Amino acid sequence: MADLPVVIVAAIADNRVIGDDNRLIWRLKTDLRHFRGLTLGRPVLMGRKTFLSIGKPLPGRETVVLTRDPAFAVEGVHIAASLEAALALGQKLGAALGSDSVVVAGGADVYAQALPLADRLELTFVHTQPDGDALFPEWDATMFEPVSRESHPRSPDDEHPFSFATFRRRRPG
């Protein structure tokens, strides 16, 4: 069986900020629904701090938390000590679920480690420039082919305008 594609899902401000003090820095209900659609029924890998900011396993998904803390344990959550171990576990869980992908959902360090391995990027570009202490890593856009882009205006449910964009890794040949 072929490995499931690795998909990074992230919401990124125009200045690459993705969070501040381990919390979301915007209210975008449309993006939360989009995130749910991209992750439901799939293994979702995230770092310990990202998991703690959410506070619980994501319903309808298998949550895999990367942590170097051997004592970290949460009921209903799978633990991995490295990205390699998390991806291997994600592949196994994804196959058991009948998933079409393994999702990487942050934070900044996990994104940086996973970016060279990602087959697809599902990015929400949030059109604002907030202060923040967590940044999405710089990435070489020439390594990815834009597949789609959908713009959304500011609305009562969304405090900033934003765009959903999908990128697929370019393959040699």
How many domains does one find in the chain? 1
For the entire predicted model, the pTM comes to: 0.96
Residue 158 lies in a domain: no
49 located within any domain: yes
Residue-range definition of the domain harbouring residue 75: 6-138
Residue 120 covered by a domain: yes
71-101, pLDDT tens digit by residue?
A: 999 999 999 999 999 999 999 999 999 999 9
Is residue 159 one of the residues assigned to a domain? no
Per-residue model confidence as pLDDT tens digits over 20-48: 998 889 999 999 999 999 999 999 999 99
Task: Report pLDDT digits (tens) over 127-168.
Answer: 999 999 999 999 999 999 999 999 999 999 999 999 999 999
Give the model's pLDDT for residue 87. 97
Does 103 reside within a domain? Answer: yes
Provide the token pair at 43. 């293994």
Half-sphere exposure of 75 (CA within 13 A, CB side): 0
pLDDT digits (tens, 9 = 90+) for 105-115: 999 999 999 99
Quick check: is 125 in a domain? Answer: yes
- pLDDT bin (cut points 50, 70, 90) of residue 2 is low
pLDDT reported for residue 48: 96
CATH of the domain at 49: 3.40.430.10
155, part of any domain: no
Confirm whether 25 is domain-assigned.
yes
pLDDT at 1 over 60: no
